[in-house]
């Protein structure tokens, strides 16, 4: 089950479409959907989590807490709408496109993809682009 939670005044209008898309991503990657919670928040909220749980005193667009067991994907994905908006402007992309990229990015981490090395980041970006193509099809 995919749930959407809001700690800011932002809301997603098409939750059902997004849920179906994320389920497709997981299926294509060979995983099953467990309990996945998206929490949309602001910079302040996510910064506090970043400091408290990861000991990082920086702003970020997404933090995910992975509770996956085997092939059953579960976790909490916190997304700062402030960071997504700023990143969309910086990268000159549509806000919704950047939001979807961050949403699938968290899921791909749960599927085992990393992004710390240049090669891993390249693979992650290719996967993101592939799955972004599916949401609009």
- For residue 136, the model assigns a pLDDT of 64
- Can you give the residue range of the structural domain that contains 29? 2-135
Binding residues: 105, 109, 115
The 10s digit of each residue's pLDDT in 33-87 is 999 999 999 999 999 998 988 888 988 899 999 999 999 999 999 999 999 999 9
Q: Count up the domains in the chain and report the number.
A: 1
Q: What is the pTM of this model?
A: 0.93
How far is it, in rounded angstroms, from Cα 29 to Cα 71? 10
For the domain that residue 127 is a member of, what is the CATH number?
A: 3.40.390.30
- Of residues 75, 76, 78, 74, the one with CA closest to residue 59: 78
Binding-site positions for Zn(2+) read 105, 109, 115
Residue 55 tokens, joined = 């000991």
């Amino acid at each position: 089950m995919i749930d959407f939670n809001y700690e800011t005044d932002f809301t997603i209008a098409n939750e059902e479409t997004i849920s179906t898309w994320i389920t497709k991503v997981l299926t294509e990657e060979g995983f099953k959907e467990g309990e996945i919670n998206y929490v949309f928040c602001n910079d302040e909220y996510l910064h506090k989590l970043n400091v408290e749980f990861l000991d990082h005193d920086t702003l970020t667009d997404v933090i995910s807490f992975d509770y996956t067991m085997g092939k059953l994907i579960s976790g909490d994905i916190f997304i700062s709408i402030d960071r997504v908006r700023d990143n969309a402007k910086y990268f000159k992309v549509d806000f919704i496109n950047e939001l979807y990229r961050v949403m699938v990015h968290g899921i791909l981490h749960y599927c085992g993809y990393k992004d710390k090395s240049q090669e891993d980041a390249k693979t992650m970006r290719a996967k993101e682009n592939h799955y972004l193509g599916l949401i609009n099809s």
